[in-house]
């Protein structure tokens, strides 16, 4: 395991990987409890999967951008540590499965050789920053959002303010008012805008706040109609600080930002964000965009000779899969990737292709596809030929027949019914029975294996959610059918209505009924106006007969893509660990946080040092409160409870209240003097609590 140390140039990254290696060892020795270890490994992209003894690795790829060298590196890692399959997610990440926990530090070190990280790809942190895959090439865009998405990724990666929040935090950047990055379902969503001020065009964003999917989807609020780009980073930091301090931590189902904003109200939440302004590291943060400007460079300028044998198929591919860029003479080529899964042999050939002929860039998309950018018009026949040889030239990119689905019961702990199996069957039905929909982009179909909506089923025109249904003493796989969702643009969207639960094997019939009825009544309607004109009851009646379970056959008890009878199994796959003293574990972590604060202070990172010291004090207080079974569901409640349980009763003697001590953080600017004093205060508090803890243990 030591071999990778000398190969990592960045000492921060090296320390991170060595820390993962150390914690794996401590966990296996029973010195770190399972819950705390889970938190650490998730923040390093290591996720337990349904199968025992192996992990899913999520590779964090900001806005889905990948170079040839990076794609080769990912393919090599997948072959060495996994099974050669790559899975594109709906957040533009890549996942590989069936990886041994012991080998994850080594795997991570290999990826970092080409500047690829696992850090914060999972866990209660800022997840992958997504963006429109056409950003920078879209003729309708206000400006290229890519550098702003990149700056956001860089600023908050490893940032102490967002390492151990109550839940995950998701952000997106949409290039146009079409909102192709889905701002309305994000914790923070940004839509590119320009505004004329004194004859000058200013760049900025419409900011959407506290959207989300899951079992209780919520349309994001408009936080700002126009936020100038230099205020982007400070605004995000203010929101994250408030979420970290006031967000729910004990009740996981209520821990997302959408519940906090709903509970407080938008105005009260924005007031708390404003109160954080003084503590921010930057009041303004101009973003340098020059690295993302300039003309694309091509390694090979010569156009290979190509003879197209099937001109009709070539034209069909061009009509559905080729997009004109705003750069004259250049085109983007969409690749429809079935269920987001492809293999390393094809990945390498694709990497060589973009290196030589397409300015060395592709982007994984929010619909689990691939978009090659900067293809010269003369090269389109050549690209068609090369992609066809890889099985990547099927028409229908981003069409109705291009179904989005999460992994479901294939690998996910939470999957209830197969999403990939039913997706494959629905795609077959569309291709064979409804060929016109291969080029139709007006209807989207999305599938999730459970209510968590990783497949985004509840924002689709037609959505399916994996469930189970009881028939006598037996369980059959089932689907909840949802209809009427969609993206309306400019930060607005609709969530689909839940209509009816049906056995999974009747899913294709549900799709046929909906499409047949749409064709019979569409007139001038698009799908959403067609749905709204008839209403939920009409569609319930249309599908009601499919819910009948009185005459199920043996086949109905076998899920799509499976050969054996359905068994409902949720939450299998996480490793077991030895449960140890949680209070001691929390205090041990507080020491680590104080160490981080000291390192940041010595490096001149005042704001980082202050937040590490703050986190150490919160963690230390939580340790004692855990022993008292006191309320610790938010950081704010930890502060309040500590004053009530320990300070007011004089069990712990402090110069002032714990609240006064801790909340110096948002009453002072992040200067060197304050950072130094705040760290001394945090160290003194830890010493006081450690002494109290030792006394209690001695008495026991």
Per-residue pLDDT of 317-340, as tens digits, reads 999 999 999 999 999 999 999 999
pLDDT at 83: 94
Q: For tokens 């930060």, what's the residue? A: 491
**Euclidean distance between CA atoms 397 and 357, whole angstroms:** 21
Contact 403, 394 (CB under 8 A): no
At residue 23 the predicted structure's pLDDT band, cuts being 50, 70 and 90, is confident
State the virtual CA torsion across 432, 434, 440, 446 in degrees, nearest 10: -80
Closest listed residue to residue 414, CA positions, set 16, 47, 25, 40: 47
Distant-in-sequence, close-in-space partners of 447: CB < 8 Å, separation ≥ 6: 403, 404, 405, 406, 408, 419, 422, 423, 426, 455, 457, 463, 464, 465, 466
**Euclidean distance between CA atoms 688 and 677, whole angstroms:** 17
String of DSSP letters for 139-158: TT-SS--HHHHHHHHHHHTT
Residue 534 has pLDDT above 60, yes or no: yes
Closest listed residue to residue 113, CA positions, set 19, 23, 5, 2: 5
Q: Which one of 330-344, 399-413, 562-576 scores highest in mean pLDDT?
A: 330-344
Contact 95, 367 (CB under 8 A): no
Q: For tokens 């000058």, what's the residue? A: 200
Residue 578 has pLDDT above 50, yes or no: no
Closest listed residue to residue 657, CA positions, set 669, 646, 671: 646
Closest listed residue to residue 107, CA positions, set 135, 137, 77, 128: 77
Q: Which CATH number fits domain 2-112: 3.40.50.460, 3.90.480.20, 3.40.630.30, 3.10.105.10?
A: 3.90.480.20
pLDDT at 482: 97
How large a percentage of the chain has pLDDT more than 90?
76
Residue 33 has pLDDT above 80, yes or no: no
Residue 604 has pLDDT above 90, yes or no: yes
Residue 579 has pLDDT above 50, yes or no: no
**What are the distances in angstroms from CA 201 to CA 142, 229, 541?**
10, 12, 53
Q: Which one of 314-323, 414-423, 575-584 scores highest in mean pLDDT?
A: 314-323
**Euclidean distance between CA atoms 460 and 522, whole angstroms:** 18
Strands 65-66 and 322-324: unpaired
State the virtual CA torsion across 678, 682, 687, 689 in degrees, nearest 10: 140
Tokens standing for residue 34: 């399972």
Residue 1 has pLDDT above 50, yes or no: no
Rg, C-alpha atoms of the chain: 26
pLDDT at 695: 87
Residue 126 has pLDDT above 60, yes or no: yes
pLDDT at 580: 34
Residue 691 has pLDDT above 80, yes or no: yes
Please report which residue ranges of 628-671 form alpha helices under DSSP H. Answer: 635-642, 658-662
pLDDT at 699: 75
Strands 404-405 and 445-448: parallel
Question: If you classify domain 130-288 with CATH, what class do you get?
Answer: alpha beta
The beta strand positions in 220-377, using DSSP E, are 221-228, 322-324, 330-335, 341-343, 362-364, 370-376
Contact 412, 495 (CB under 8 A): no
**Euclidean distance between CA atoms 334 and 373, whole angstroms:** 9
State which fold the 582-699 domain adopts: 1.20.120
Q: Where are the domains of the chain?
A: 2-112, 130-288, 309-389, 404-557, 582-699
Q: Specify the DSSP class assigned to residue 497.
A: E
Q: Does domain 309-389 have CATH number 3.30.70.3340?
A: yes
Residue 77 has pLDDT above 70, yes or no: yes
SS3 label, residue 49: coil
Q: Which residue has the higher pLDDT, 457 or 215?
A: 457
How large a percentage of the chain has pLDDT more than 70?
96
Q: What is the mean pLDDT of residues 633-644?
A: 94
Residue 411 has pLDDT above 90, yes or no: no
Asked if domains 130-288 and 582-699 share a fold, the reply is no
pLDDT at 100: 93
Distant-in-sequence, close-in-space partners of 415: CB < 8 Å, separation ≥ 6: 50, 406, 407, 408, 409, 449, 450, 466, 570
Q: Which residue has the higher pLDDT, 135 or 123?
A: 135
At residue 569 the predicted structure's pLDDT band, cuts being 50, 70 and 90, is low
Q: Specify the DSSP class assigned to residue 647.
A: I
Residue 298 — φ and ψ, nearest 5°?
A: -115, 135
Q: Specify the DSSP class assigned to residue 560.
A: T
Q: Which one of 198-202, 472-476, 637-641 scores highest in mean pLDDT?
A: 637-641
**Euclidean distance between CA atoms 268 and 277, whole angstroms:** 15
At residue 393 the predicted structure's pLDDT band, cuts being 50, 70 and 90, is very high
Sheet with strand 404-405: strands edge to edge: 404-405, 445-448, 462-471, 474-483, 497-503
State which fold the 404-557 domain adopts: Sulfite Reductase Hemoprotein; domain 1 (3.30.413)
Q: What is the mean pLDDT of residues 98-110?
A: 93
At residue 582 the predicted structure's pLDDT band, cuts being 50, 70 and 90, is low
Distant-in-sequence, close-in-space partners of 503: CB < 8 Å, separation ≥ 6: 469, 476, 477, 478, 479, 546, 549, 552, 556
Residue 154 has pLDDT above 70, yes or no: yes
Q: What is the mean pLDDT of residues 28-48?
A: 82
**Euclidean distance between CA atoms 413 and 571, whole angstroms:** 5
pLDDT at 413: 65
Q: What is the mean pLDDT of residues 493-501?
A: 96
The reported pTM is 0.91
Q: What is the mean pLDDT of residues 680-697?
A: 92
């Amino acid at each position: 395991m030591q071999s990778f140390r000398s190969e990592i140039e960045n000492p921060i990254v090296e320390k991170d990987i060595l820390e993962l290696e150390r914690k794996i060892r401590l966990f296996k020795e029973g010195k770190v409890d399972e819950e705390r270890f889970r938190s650490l490994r998730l923040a390093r992209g290591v996720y337990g999967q349904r199968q025992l003894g192996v992990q899913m690795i999520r590779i964090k790829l900001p806005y889905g951008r990948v170079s040839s060298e990076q794609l080769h590196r990912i393919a090599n890692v997948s072959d060495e540590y996994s099974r050669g399959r790559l899975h594109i997610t709906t957040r533009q990440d890549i996942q590989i499965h069936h990886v041994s926990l012991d080998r994850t530090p080594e795997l991570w070190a290999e990826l970092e050789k080409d500047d690829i990280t696992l850090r914060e790809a999972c866990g209660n942190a800022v997840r992958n920053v997504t963006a429109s895959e056409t950003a920078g090439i879209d003729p309708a865009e206000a400006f290229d959002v890519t550098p702003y998405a990149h700056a956001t990724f860089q600023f908050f990666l490893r940032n102490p303010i967002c390492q151990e929040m109550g839940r995950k935090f998701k952000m997106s950047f949409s290039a146009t008012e079409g909102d192709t990055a889905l701002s309305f379902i994000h914790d923070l969503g940004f839509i590119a805008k320009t505004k004329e001020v004194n004859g000058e065009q200013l760049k900025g964003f419409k900011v959407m706040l506290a959207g989300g999917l899951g079992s209780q989807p919520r349309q994001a609020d408009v936080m700002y109609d126009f936020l100038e780009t230099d205020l982007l980073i400070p605004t995000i930091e203010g929101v994250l600080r408030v979420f970290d301090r006031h967000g729910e931590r004990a009740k996981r189902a209520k821990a997302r930002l959408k519940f906090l904003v709903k509970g407080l109200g938008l105005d009260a939440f924005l007031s708390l964000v404003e109160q954080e302004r003084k503590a921010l590291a930057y009041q303004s943060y101009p973003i340098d965009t020059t690295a993302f400007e300039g003309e694309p460079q091509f390694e090979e300028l010569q156009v290979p000779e190509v003879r197209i044998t099937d001109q009709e198929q070539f034209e069909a591919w061009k009509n559905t899969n080729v997009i004109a860029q705003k750069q004259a003479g250049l085109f983007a080529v969409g690749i429809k990737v079935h269920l987001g899964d492809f293999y390393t042999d094809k990945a390498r050939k694709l990497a060589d292709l973009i290196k030589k002929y397409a300015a060395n860039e592709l982007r994984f998309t929010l619909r689990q596809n691939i978009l090659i950018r900067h293809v010269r018009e003369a090269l389109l026949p050549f690209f068609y030929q090369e992609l066809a040889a890889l099985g990547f030239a099927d028409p229908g990119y981003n069409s109705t027949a291009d179904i989005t689905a999460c992994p479901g019961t294939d690998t996910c702990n939470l999957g209830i019914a197969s999403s990939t199996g039913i997706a494959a069957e629905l795609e077959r039905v569309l291709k064979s029975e409804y060929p016109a929909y291969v080029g139709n982009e007006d209807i989207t179909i999305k599938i999730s294996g459970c209510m968590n909506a990783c497949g985004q089923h509840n924002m689709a025109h037609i959505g399916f959610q994996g469930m189970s249904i009881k028939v006598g003493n037996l369980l059959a796989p089932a689907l909840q059918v949802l209809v009427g969702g969609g993206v309306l643009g400019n930060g607005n969207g609709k969530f689909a209505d839940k209509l009816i639960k049906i056995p999974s094997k009747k899913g294709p019939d549900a799709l046929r009924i909906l499409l047949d009825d749409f064709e019979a009544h569409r007139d001038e309607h698009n799908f959403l106006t067609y749905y709204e004109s008839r209403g939920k009851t009409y569609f319930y009646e249309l599908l009601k007969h499919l819910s009948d379970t009185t005459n199920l056959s043996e086949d109905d008890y076998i899920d799509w893509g499976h050969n054996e009878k359905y068994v409902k199994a949720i939450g299998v796959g996480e490793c077991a660990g030895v449960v140890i003293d949680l209070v001691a574990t929390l205090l041990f972590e507080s020491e680590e946080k104080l160490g981080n604060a000291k390192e940041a202070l010595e490096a001149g990172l005042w704001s980082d040092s202050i937040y590490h010291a703050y986190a150490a004090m919160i963690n230390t207080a939580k340790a004692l409160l855990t022993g008292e079974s006191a309320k610790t569901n938010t950081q704010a409640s930890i502060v309040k409870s500590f004053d009530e349980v320990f300070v007011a009763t004089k069990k712990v003697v402090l110069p002032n209240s714990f609240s006064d001590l801790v909340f110096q953080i948002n009453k002072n600017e992040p200067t060197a003097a304050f950072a130094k004093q705040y760290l001394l205060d945090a160290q003194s508090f830890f010493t006081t609590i450690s002494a109290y803890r030792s006394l209690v243990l001695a008495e026991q």
